[in-house]
């Protein structure tokens, strides 16, 4: 049986419910964004061209491969600390995009980044 979920450190993809969690937070994705993230994750860090991403994420689509850019932008707004300086979904010049699996390892976040995301205070139920 295929796995029910994919675990990439701080990124977890639930294949059954088509849900994505980043740093434990549920990320609301459109079906297109989910498919795109899934395909990037499956590529195991390898860069994929726009046309390859389009073919894998939406096999029936006749869209221009440039529509991938739009979906990548909207996906970055949801998963990146700073979408203008993406570190998870990287642009590979003259190729396309890749998911930076190194940055998904829990210990790869520098203290500087952690400062921007203070841990949510945990309420202890009495």
pLDDT, tens only, 99-121: 999 988 877 555 444 444 444 44
User: Helix H segments across the chain?
Assistant: 31-42, 50-57, 67-79, 111-116
Q: For domain 5-116, which CATH number applies: 1.20.200.10, 1.10.10.10, 3.40.50.300, 3.90.470.20?
A: 1.10.10.10
Closest CA to 71 of 95, 50, 100: 50
Contacts of 113 (CB under 8 A, 6+ apart): 81
Angle, alpha carbons 6-80-26 (nearest 5°): 50
Residue-wise pLDDT for 30-81, tens only, equals 999 999 999 999 999 999 999 999 999 998 888 788 899 999 999 999 999 9
Contact residues for 100 (Cβ-Cβ < 8 A; gap 6+): 45, 87, 88, 89, 90
């Amino acid at each position: 049986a295929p796995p029910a979920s994919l675990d990439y450190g701080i990124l977890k993809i639930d294949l059954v419910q088509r849900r994505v969690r980043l740093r434990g937070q549920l990320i609301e994705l459109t079906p297109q964004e989910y498919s795109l993230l899934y395909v990037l994750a499956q590529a195991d860090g390898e860069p994929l061209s726009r046309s390859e991403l389009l073919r894998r994420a939406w096999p029936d689509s006749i869209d221009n491969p440039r529509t991938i850019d739009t979906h990548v932008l909207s996906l970055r707004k949801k998963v990146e600390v700073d979408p203008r300086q993406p570190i998870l979904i990287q642009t590979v010049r003259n190729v396309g995009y890749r998911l930076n699996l190194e940055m998904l390892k829990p210990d790869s976040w520098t203290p500087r980044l952690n400062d921007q995301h203070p841990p949510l205070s945990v309420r202890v139920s009495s």
